[in-house]
Structure 1
Amino acid sequence: MAQTYDHPGERAAHDPIRLLAVREAPLSVDEVMAAVRDPSAGGTALFVGTVRDHDGGVDVARLGYSSHPTAEAELRRVAEKVVADFPVRALAAVHRVGELEIGDPAVVVAVSCAHRAEAFDACRRLIDDLKHQVPIWKHQTFADGTEEWVGS
């Protein structure tokens, strides 16, 4: 779907990809929300993925994420495809790497569009494609001492 505009003032040239990062520092929902604020957006969808205390019925003791050096470039490619397919006003995505605690945000994505349905659809595509296409891997250590790599 090509970008469409409801109002002539919306045609101003801007890059809707406002924030993309793969980082070791803790993630901020406020930073992501600030990045996607746009006066022409009537809907903003946000997804926060957090570290849970279990997986597959087994208690998780520790969790870490690592990434390939191309992860940010792949994240940009995913974001550009979302912007090409949806009428996105603003988009942001950050993923954490390193050791995380239970409850920590691991990924935060948000998309602003003129209307809520577009924002929901674009945000879902963004997180789904990020999880399937960006080379970031999860290493889980379970309470029983076993370990598992996810996404490798």
Structure 2
Amino acid sequence: MTDQDRTDPRTVQEALLDVDYAVVLWGLHMRFWRRARALVTVFLVAGSSFAVVSWAQQDPKMASIAALLLVLFSAFNFAVSPADRQAEARERHRTYAELRSQLPVDATLEQVDAALRKAAITDPPAIESLRYIAYNDNLLSKGYPTHVVRGFYWPRALRLA
């Protein structure tokens, strides 16, 4: 059943669930990019150490392999920039958390939807698999276990990240 199939109107509770979903989604992005940044840092340090040790032992083949891996991880770090993406996700998380805390208790559907639209204008693209995780986490935390979307391997693997 899609939103077009529904005959009942969208409720304020559903709109508030959408705000909470955004908070969870960007929190997951923040954690994902923090771990990606840490992993890249570990590989850069280990790769540079391996290159220096290989060079010191006068093993040009291993030193070349280590240097190549170091260049690849540096290029990935430069191109993807996990630190910048983590900061961006932190800002989006903060924006939605503030939005949720500043909504009046008696907010109308129109007020919540307008605030959501305004906040979503600057949203960067999200990792699709994290959307499923955020959706399920949000529904489970609010007491709606029957509405959870059954996940596949990849979203569950990202949950560990």
Question: Structure 1 length as normaliser, TM-score?
Answer: 0.29
Q: Pick the structure with more helix per residue.
A: 2
| Structure (1 or 2) with the larger CA radius of gyration | 2
Give the TM-score normalised by the residue count of structure 2.
Answer: 0.28
